[in-house]
Amino acid sequence: MKKALVISLAALLAVSCGIYSFTGTSIQADVKTITIPYVEYKALRVNPSLSNLLTEALQDKFRKLTRLEQVDMDGDLELVCEVTGYDVKATAVTADELASQNRLTVTVKAVFSNKKYPEDDVDRSFSAYEDFDATMSLDAVEADLCTTIVDKIVEDIFNATVAQW
């Protein structure tokens, strides 16, 4: 009983200071809102669903793992992203000089602004890829590849912004 009380009190103190949460975020107590606008698509090769997929994944991640209220504009935090690269390249070649593996790579530029703590601002690109068999068409595997790639990029963006890893 005594141990449970001490553990509960320690957990309450850790959470109430507003700097640490059990999801791994380090958001100051006075930071209450975040704005995550629609992800712009600026890559040369077009994937019409990627911006929407990325926008929803980012908003879901922040909704589920932070206490922040998402607002349409003027949030304490703002995360503006754009897809800057969407490329398919051969990664393995057979003896007949034919591609045996292809790689889909997505690059996203993220600008994270913290209006209350500008020292936490982040401005950088994030990239992830998935390989697929060259006998498969991109159309056949694109949706699954993009889902996996978006998950990786969203995790990296989240960790670099509010988890500060």
- Read off the pLDDT of residues 103-141 as tens digits, 9 standing for 90 and up: 999 999 999 999 999 999 999 999 999 999 988 999 999
Residue pair 102/90 in contact (Cβ under 8 Å)? The answer is yes
Residue pair 100/107 in contact (Cβ under 8 Å)? The answer is no
Residue pair 20/27 in contact (Cβ under 8 Å)? The answer is no
pLDDT in tens, 11-46: 444 444 444 444 457 789 999 999 999 999 999 999
Q: What is the pLDDT of residue 110?
A: 98
Q: Could you tell me the residue ranges of all domains in the chain?
A: 31-161
Residue pair 48/146 in contact (Cβ under 8 Å)? The answer is no
Residue pair 76/33 in contact (Cβ under 8 Å)? The answer is yes
Class of domain 31-161: alpha beta
Residue pair 58/154 in contact (Cβ under 8 Å)? The answer is yes
Q: State the residue for tokens 């109430």.
A: 16
Please name which of 36, 68, 34, 78 lies closest in space to residue 54, comparing C-alpha atoms.
36
